[in-house]
């Protein structure tokens, strides 16, 4: 045998190598090829035993059982420390070749008869090398196959992704074109059911009015009757869907029937496996998206979970978007009247100003507060709705009406040639709002009026804000001119307004710097000509302008609320001064000539704004205490308009003032709306007949008759009467003849400075 190898080593070697190669290449798969390789190597080199070791383990053996392979002895041979192996009591000459690669290995041969020659060992190395290469090739195909398998999976995955993508794109399109929510939800449930290959899919959303309950809002593969029953369910009883909402996390159940959280009704429907994940609106959980199978259980793998989550995210997107849209709509519309909001109005105005000329109307109701306060907010709201309807009815299609807030409305009239063209429309609105309103079913009709300002702009001539200011100024002017009217904007209004603003600043400063003074106009007993009291009248000594009369700044002081501190100063100053004079008058040693006369009363004008202050009676009481003026000596003059005001607080406050012991007078009587009936309701002591009657009392028979009528009425109601603005002796005699008790006017004295009155009272 040895001779054969030794004789023809080259030939044999080539033959055997070819044979070996074909065996190795023919047999696919690792272990088979390894086994074939070992057998082939043994035969080629006439060995009795052969072994292939990989990573120190025996992977194939020939002529010996795997357990009998002497692993330690082999390692000794490899290390060159021995040349023979003992197996089963026999001794074999050993030949070893290493196989490089990963894993590394050894091809080991043993022959009982004779040691291996150098050529044989060389051949063995060649075989090992072939084995190494073929193993490597085998490994490569193995990994390629694995790679291909992965590729398949990847492709599959990509296909699935593609389908998911296509489905979600459909949902996204529906969201983007703002399809109705229920339509989007239907798309979601149907699409998800198909994509995940489940039997049912549903969307449960928290009830808007009661977020502790949820309702099935959309579904696919659920019977309509079943869905009907799953409405307004308390969350904890709403099964997996409810738990997903409560926990704000994905919930899965593989065997629903056996699950402790199963809803009996759903198990009855053979619900087998179910999975739910929360949906959100603006990041807050508002519901859940659920999928389930009937009759067949299913493991919810990662991809299925991901798909469900992706759909839930799209539902969240749709919900958040719809809510944003709703909020935007709300921002652009007045919820009460449905008219445009200020924001929308301004946007439209900007658009239309760029395109052409337009007019803006500012409409402010004149008596809204009175109606709101007396009839209640519900009636007030009805009034506003009705006003909106009437304004709308006066407009063309292209016009926009807006509610700017409170009782303020605005109208945009595009394509108008000038302010005069807008005037008829404003007049129409004015007229429409004068018609009676039926605000309460059983109650009578209510009347209001409005003040309307009109402003006009040519194309791109003014900015939207600027035009709003113009219309507002014109409206303000309409109010000032007596309300219930239309005013067109004029540039002077801006100057007047600027001046008003400047005056407001000055007025604030005046309060701090004490720029006010009081004048005292004597009130005289008409028959005895005796001074019985004085009316305190304010003046403003402006550092630059000089003395400003009250009518020029009191309205602004009232508008800005500054009348409150100013009025308090007037009251304190007047009471203190008169208390001082009275003290002097009562001292016989100091002023013997006036000693017999009674104390003077002081009349102080009180503005309606002051009367709105709940602490007015306390303030008056404190000042009376402080100055020592007896309450009876103080007369508070109020204007008639107060009596038209029906608010109960007004009456209560007047009664509180009366309770202090001071007297109340109605100023400028006859000029306002007050009917005689009011006089009985209000705790009034004095009527001051307006100067306009006194002016005409001599020459105009009607004025004379009216004046006498007022005086007689006063007497009938046991009220004192004071005639204002007596300038001539003729007026005095008419009034005195008509039994008017008191009077004041230039005929007796103008409003005097404190010093001047002092001289009059206590002549030197």
- Kindly list the residues in this chain that would bind ligand C2E in the complex (CB under 6 A): 521, 537-538, 549-551, 554, 567, 570, 605, 607, 637, 667-668, 724-725, 727, 744-746, 751
Shortest Cβ 521–ligand C2E spacing (Å): 6
Q: Give the whole-angstrom CA distance, residue 210 versus residue 162.
A: 40
Could you give the count of Cα atoms lying within 13 Å of 27 in the half-sphere of its Cβ? 18
Shortest Cβ 600–ligand C2E spacing (Å): 17
- The answer to whether the beta carbons of residues 520 and 757 sit under 8 Å apart is yes
Closer CB to Mg ion, residue 44 or residue 665? 665
Closer CB to ligand C2E, residue 205 or residue 611? 611
Q: What is the DSSP letter of 600?
A: P
Closer CB to Mg ion, residue 316 or residue 605? 605
Strand partners, 107: 52, 97
Closer CB to ligand C2E, residue 206 or residue 666? 666
Contact set for Mg ion, span 663-682 (CB under 5 A)? 667-668
- The answer to whether the beta carbons of residues 572 and 626 sit under 8 Å apart is yes
Closer CB to Mg ion, residue 399 or residue 668? 668
Closer CB to ligand C2E, residue 356 or residue 550? 550
Name the residue among 297, 212, 217 with its Cα closest to residue 262: 297
Closer CB to ligand C2E, residue 640 or residue 668? 668
DSSP 3-state of 482:
coil
Q: Give the whole-angstrom CA distance, residue 251 versus residue 242.
A: 10
Closer CB to ligand C2E, residue 196 or residue 697? 697
Shortest Cβ 624–ligand C2E spacing (Å): 17
The total of other beta-carbon atoms located within 10 Å of residue 294's CB is: 15
Shortest Cβ 734–ligand C2E spacing (Å): 15
Tell me which residue has tokens 């012991």. Answer: 661
Closer CB to ligand C2E, residue 111 or residue 688? 688
Q: Name the binder of 607 from Mg ion, ligand C2E, none, CB < 5-8 A by kind.
A: ligand C2E
Tokens of 652: 């209560």
Closer CB to Mg ion, residue 399 or residue 640? 640
Shortest Cβ 717–Mg ion spacing (Å): 19
The total of other beta-carbon atoms located within 10 Å of residue 563's CB is: 23
Shortest Cβ 679–ligand C2E spacing (Å): 18
Strand partners, 723: 689, 743
Number of amino acids touching Mg ion (CB under 5 A): 5
Closer CB to ligand C2E, residue 289 or residue 562? 562
Shortest Cβ 667–ligand C2E spacing (Å): 5
Closer CB to Mg ion, residue 617 or residue 670? 670
Rounded (10°) angle between helices 9-26 and 118-176: 20
Closer CB to ligand C2E, residue 458 or residue 549? 549
R_g of the chain, CA atoms, integer Å: 54
637 lies in the binding site for Mg ion (CB under 5 A)? yes
640 lies in the binding site for Mg ion (CB under 5 A)? no
Tokens of 726: 């007596």
272 Cβ contact list (under 8 Å, min separation 6): 255, 256, 257, 292, 293, 294, 295, 296, 297, 298
- Read out DSSP for 374-407? HH-HHHHHHHHHHHHHHHHHTS-TT-EEEEEETT
Q: Give the whole-angstrom CA distance, residue 368 versus residue 446.
A: 11
Peptide bond into 275 cis (omega under 30): no
Q: Name the binder of 532 from Mg ion, ligand C2E, none, CB < 5-8 A by kind.
A: none
721 lies in the binding site for Mg ion (CB under 5 A)? no
Shortest Cβ 403–ligand C2E spacing (Å): 34
Shortest Cβ 743–ligand C2E spacing (Å): 9
Helix%, strand%, coil% for the chain, nearest 5:
50, 20, 25
Q: What is the DSSP letter of 114?
A: S
Shortest Cβ 740–ligand C2E spacing (Å): 15
Q: What is the DSSP letter of 436?
A: -
- Read out DSSP for 2-38? HHHHHHSHHHHHHHHHHHHHHHHHHS-SHHHHHHHHH
Name the residue among 546, 541, 534, 544 with its Cα closest to residue 516: 541
Intra-chain end-to-end CA distance of the chain, in Å: 169
**Backbone phi, then psi, for 329, in 5-degree steps?**
-60, -40
Shortest Cβ 609–ligand C2E spacing (Å): 8
Q: Name the binder of 554 from Mg ion, ligand C2E, none, CB < 5-8 A by kind.
A: ligand C2E
Q: In the sheet that 84-87 helps form, which strands lie side by side, from edge to edge?
A: 57-62, 49-54, 105-111, 90-99, 84-87
Shortest Cβ 688–Mg ion spacing (Å): 5
Shortest Cβ 564–ligand C2E spacing (Å): 10
Tokens of 700: 């105009």
DSSP 3-state of 53:
strand
Q: Name the binder of 290 from ligand C2E, Mg ion, none, CB < 5-8 A by kind.
A: none
Shortest Cβ 751–Mg ion spacing (Å): 11
Closer CB to ligand C2E, residue 383 or residue 571? 571
Shortest Cβ 658–ligand C2E spacing (Å): 19
Shortest Cβ 723–ligand C2E spacing (Å): 10
Closer CB to Mg ion, residue 334 or residue 668? 668
Q: Name the binder of 191 from Mg ion, ligand C2E, none, CB < 5-8 A by kind.
A: none
Contact set for Mg ion, span 449-478 (CB under 5 A)? none
Shortest Cβ 488–Mg ion spacing (Å): 33
Closer CB to Mg ion, residue 362 or residue 693? 693
Contact set for Mg ion, span 597-626 (CB under 5 A)? 605
Burial of 702 (0-12, 13-18, 19+ CB in 10 A): exposed
Q: Name the binder of 538 from ligand C2E, Mg ion, none, CB < 5-8 A by kind.
A: ligand C2E
Q: Give the whole-angstrom CA distance, residue 683 versus residue 600.
A: 22
Q: Name the binder of 751 from Mg ion, ligand C2E, none, CB < 5-8 A by kind.
A: ligand C2E
What's the length of the chain?
Answer: 764
Name the residue among 75, 93, 74 with its Cα closest to residue 84: 93
Closer CB to ligand C2E, residue 326 or residue 750? 750
Burial of 479 (0-12, 13-18, 19+ CB in 10 A): middle
Burial of 697 (0-12, 13-18, 19+ CB in 10 A): buried
Q: Name the binder of 399 from ligand C2E, Mg ion, none, CB < 5-8 A by kind.
A: none
- The answer to whether the beta carbons of residues 107 and 52 sit under 8 Å apart is yes
CA distances from residue 64 to 61, 111, 131, 273, 694 in whole angstroms, order as listed: 6, 12, 20, 56, 147
Where does this chain bind Mg ion (CB under 5 A)? 605, 637, 667-668, 724
């Amino acid at each position: 045998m040895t001779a054969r190898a030794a004789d023809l080593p080259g030939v044999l070697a080539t033959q055997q190598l070819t044979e070996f190669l074909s065996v190795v290449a023919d047999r696919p798969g690792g272990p088979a090829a390894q086994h074939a390789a070992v057998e082939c190597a043994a035969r080629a080199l006439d060995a009795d035993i052969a072994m292939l070791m990989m990573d120190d383990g025996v992977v194939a053996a020939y002529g010996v059982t795997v357990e009998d392979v002497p692993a330690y002895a082999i390692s000794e041979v490899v290390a060159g420390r021995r040349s023979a192996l003992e197996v089963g009591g026999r001794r074999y000459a050993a030949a070893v070749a290493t196989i490089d690669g990963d894993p590394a290995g050894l091809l080991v041969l043993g022959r009982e008869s004779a040691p291996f020659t150098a050529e044989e060992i060389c051949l063995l190395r060649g075989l090992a090398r072939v084995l190494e290469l073929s193993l490597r090739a085998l490994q490569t195909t193995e990994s390629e196959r694995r790679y291909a398998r992965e590729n398949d999976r990847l492709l599959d995955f990509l296909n699935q992704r593609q389908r998911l993508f296509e489905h979600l794109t459909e949902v996204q399109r529906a969201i983007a074109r703002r399809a109705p929510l229920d339509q989007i939800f239907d798309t979601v449930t149907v699409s998800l059911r198909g994509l995940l290959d489940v039997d049912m899919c549903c969307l449960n959303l928290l009830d808007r009015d009661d977020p502790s309950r949820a309702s099935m809002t959309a579904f696919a593969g659920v019977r309509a009757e079943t869905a009907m029953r799953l409405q307004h369910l308390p969350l904890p009883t709403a099964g997996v869907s409810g738990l997903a909402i409560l926990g704000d996390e994905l919930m899965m159940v593989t065997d629903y029937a056996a699950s402790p959280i199963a809803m009996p009704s759903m198990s009855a429907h053979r619900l087998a496996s179910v999975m739910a994940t929360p949906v959100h609106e603006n990041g807050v959980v508002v519901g859940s998206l659920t999928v389930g199978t009937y009759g067949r259980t299913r493991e919810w793998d990662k991809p299925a979970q991901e798909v469900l989550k992706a759909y839930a995210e799209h539902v969240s997107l749709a919900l958040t978007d719809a809510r944003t849209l709703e909020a935007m709509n709300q921002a652009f519309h007045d919820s009460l009247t449905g008219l445009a909001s200020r924001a929308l109005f301004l946007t439209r105005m900007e658009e239309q100003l760029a395109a052409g000329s337009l007019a803006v109307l500012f409409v402010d109701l004149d008596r809204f507060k009175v109606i709101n306060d007396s009839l209640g907010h519900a009636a007030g709201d009805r009034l506003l709705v009705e006003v909106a309807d009437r304004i709308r009815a006066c407009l063309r299609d292209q016009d926009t009406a807006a509610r700017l807030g409170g009782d303020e409305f605005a109208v945009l009239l595009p394509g108008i040639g000038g302010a005069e063209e807008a005037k008829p429309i404003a007049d129409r609105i004015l007229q429409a709002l004068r018609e009676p309103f039926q605000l309460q079913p059983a109650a009578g009709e209510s009347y209001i009026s409005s003040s309307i300002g009109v402003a006009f702009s040519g194309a791109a001539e003014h900015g939207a804000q600027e035009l709003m200011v113009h219309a507002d100024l014109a409206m303000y002017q309409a109010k000032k001119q007596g309300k219930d009217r239309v005013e067109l904007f004029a540039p002077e209004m801006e100057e007047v307004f600027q001046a008003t603003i400047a005056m407001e600043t000055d007025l604030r400063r005046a309060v701090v710097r004490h720029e006010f003074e009081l004048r005292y106009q004597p009130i005289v007993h008409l028959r005895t000509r005796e001074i019985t009291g004085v009316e305190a009248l304010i003046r403003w000594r402006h550092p630059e302008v000089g003395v400003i009369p009250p009518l020029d700044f009191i309205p602004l002081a009232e508008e800005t609320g500054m009348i409150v501190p100013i009025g308090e100063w007037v009251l304190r100053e007047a009471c203190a001064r008169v208390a001082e004079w009275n003290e002097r008058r009562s001292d016989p040693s100091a002023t013997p000539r006036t000693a017999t006369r009674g104390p003077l009363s002081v009349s102080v004008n009180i503005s309606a704004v002051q009367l709105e202050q709940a602490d007015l009676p306390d303030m008056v009481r404190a000042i009376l205490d402080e100055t020592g003026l007896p309450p009876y000596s103080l007369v508070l003059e109020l204007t008639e308009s107060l009596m038209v005001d029906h608010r109960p607080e007004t009456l209560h406050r007047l009664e509180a003032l009366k309770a202090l012991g001071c007297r109340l007078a109605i100023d400028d009587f006859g000029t306002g709306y007050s009917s005689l009936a009011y006089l009985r309701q209000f705790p009034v002591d004095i009527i001051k007949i307006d100067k306009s009657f006194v002016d005409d009392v001599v020459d105009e028979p009607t004025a004379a008759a009216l004046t006498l009528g007022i005086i007689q009425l006063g007497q009938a109601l046991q009220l004192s009467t004071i005639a204002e603005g007596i300038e001539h002796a003729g007026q005095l005699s008419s009034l005195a003849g008509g039994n008017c008790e008191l009077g004041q006017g230039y005929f007796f004295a103008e409003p005097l400075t404190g010093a001047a009155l002092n001289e009059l009272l206590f002549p030197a």
